[in-house]
Each structure stands twice: as C-alpha cells, then as structure tokens.
Amino acid sequence: MKKNFVRAVFPGSFDPITNGHLDVVSRGVKLFDELIIAVGRSPIKEPLFTPQERVDIIAELIKDMPRVSVESFEGLTVKYVKQRKADVILRGLRSLTDVQYEFQLAMTNRSVAGVETVFIMTSEQYGFTSSTLIREVASLGGDISRLVPKIVYARIQQKLKK
C-alpha cells in the first residue's frame, strides 16, 4: 500500500524564532514529508524583526534540514494552508494555557476550512519560553542567550543597539 504524501504548515510570528520553535520543527519533520514554516504578520503584535528578516533568519537556521522550508504569508492561516495544498497545521504546546487557546483554534480551523491540526508538546526546557517574553527580557538587558539560536541572539543584540 502506497503512503500518502503529507505536507504540514507550522505557522507563527517567529519574532524571534526560539529554541522551542526549532525543537518543534526538528520533531515535526520526522512526522511529515514536507514542513513549511510560515511566518505570519500579526496586526496586534509590535514586531522586532520585519517578516523578511524573520524569513532570512529562519532560512539560515534550517538550511541543512531537508524537507523544511520557510515562507511569509498574510491573512488567515487556513487560507494559506489551503493555498499551499497542505494537509495539516503543526502547532507546539507549552502549557495548559496554550492547550485551551490552541484547542479552540484547531476546532475552528477544522470547522471553517476542514484543516486538521497536529500538536507537539515542546521539550521541558522550552516550556516557559515565548517570543514575546524573549523580546521583553532582551529589551530590558536580560540574558536570553540560552533561549534562542546564536544567530538570533546576535541579531537581537544588533537590533537593540539601534
């Protein structure tokens, strides 16, 4: 019996991408034939990096990961997922708060667009991190070097010096 090709989309703002995000990517790619990291534009978040800067940073981080790519998109995630002919949305879960929000979102996406969501629990060491928290700690001079990849840390330091 022939196995079906499965394309997944891992959407987020990734501002900045964290070690927790990369943990989800590295485990998610084992489940799917192709994984697209989709950098979205959130109208309610004040970004540190432009969408193109985020795509460039992520492209550098995943350059040696076969079957993983990165793109930016605007608008509804489910529309983008359908446009890319993806089968599922991949989401990482950190806490019980995430579960409540993501469950509601997954049910809505399935109801509105027929798109399924697959969840991966983040590794324990990344369960407390979020891009928002990392931006805040960095802006106040805190050490985020263990929470983000080295190139992300360097780029954040450059941004904050401006």
Identify which of 62, 63, 12, 3 has the alpha carbon closest to the alpha carbon of residue 32.
Answer: 3
Give the Cα separation of 80 and 129 in Å (integer): 26
Catalytic site includes residue 21: yes
How far is 130 from 156, CA to CA, in rounded Å? 15
Q: Which of 54, 91, 131, 135 is catalytic?
A: 131
Q: Does 30 participate in catalysis according to the annotation? A: no
Catalytic one of 21, 54, 91, 155: 21
Q: In what order do the strands lie in the sheet with 88-93?
A: 68-73, 34-40, 7-12, 88-93, 116-121
**Which residue in the list 45, 69, 95, 139 is annotated as catalytic?**
45
The yes-or-no answer on residue 27 being catalytic is no
Which tokens hold the place of 73?
């998109």
Active-site residue, selected from the candidate residues 13, 54, 91, 94? 94
Percent of the chain as helix, strand, coil, to the nearest 5: 45, 20, 35
Provide the token pair at 55. 């795509």
Instruction: Show which residues are catalytic.
Output: 21, 45, 94, 131
